[in-house]
Amino acid sequence: MMKKSEKVKGKEKVAQKKQQRIRYVIVAAIGCIIAAVILFLLFNPFVAKAGDMVEVYYTGFLADGTVFDSNLNGTPLVFTLGSHAVIAGFEDAVTGMGLNQTKIVSIPSDKAYGPYRSELVRVVNRSGLPAEMKPEVGKMYTITRTDDGSSSLVRILNVTPSTVTWDENHILAGKNLNFEIRLAGFSSGT
């Protein structure tokens, strides 16, 4: 077996160091690109992000195409992203949108008005209702609880001479929602 000469060993060592430097440069370049992309996404002035005040036009519809809400012929909905002023799925959908971008999104019930909860259907004694209240099936009423002063919007399901059955669930509880959303404007919250 022949021994490698010192000259050959030196050349191999130089070549190994050169390859190692090339690897370091490649890894550093990839790291810089990843950092630049992350910074661009976090601080991109061209898309809406948390803290921005946004203006949106939307149409909300169910899976069967039934429209339940729209502001297309009115004023835009204005809110601050991250303030929880709208349902979570709607806020998530608007985050990252660009000016005048339109998108259609499907929002599962857990990111909308939550599941339908049967325990929120209550039968109450009519004697506990205000005398001026004349409940009608299908109508919505605001009730104020005497124990804590909180208010709820309820839908009347049934009326008898002695009881009223109402539903405290949001009318869209348990439903997956679809929205067509257009970002009409936004301003930086920073």
**pLDDT at 116 (0 to 100):** 97
Q: Cβ neighbours of residue 36 under 8 Å, at least 6 residues apart?
A: none
Instruction: Give the domain CATH number at 178.
Output: 3.10.50.40
β-pairing, 77-80 with 102-107? unpaired
- Give the predicted TM-score (pTM) of the model: 0.69
Tell me the pLDDT of the chain averaged across its residues: 90
* pLDDT classification of 98: cutoffs 50, 70, 90: very high
Q: How many domains does the chain have?
A: 2
Helices marked H in 44-99 — which ranges? 88-94
- Per-residue pLDDT of 37-77, as tens digits, reads 777 666 656 889 999 999 999 999 999 999 999 999 999 99
Residue 135's closest CA among 167, 112, 94?
167
Domain that includes residue 134, residue range: 118-167
| 111 pLDDT higher than 90 | yes
Distance, C-alpha 41 to centroid of its chain:
18
Residues 98 and 58 in one domain: yes
Q: Tell whether 143 and 66 lie within a shared domain.
A: no
Q: List, in sequence order, the alpha helices (H) in 59-179.
A: 88-94
**How confident is residue 89, by pLDDT bands cut at 50, 70 and 90?**
very high
Q: Indicate if 163 and 177 belong to the same structural domain.
A: no
Q: H helices within 62-129, ranges in order?
A: 88-94
- 68-77 pLDDT per residue, tens: 999 999 999 9
Percent of the chain as helix, strand, coil, to the nearest 5: 30, 30, 40
The answer on 107 and 59 residing in a single domain is yes
Is residue 141, in this structure, part of any structural domain at all?
Answer: yes
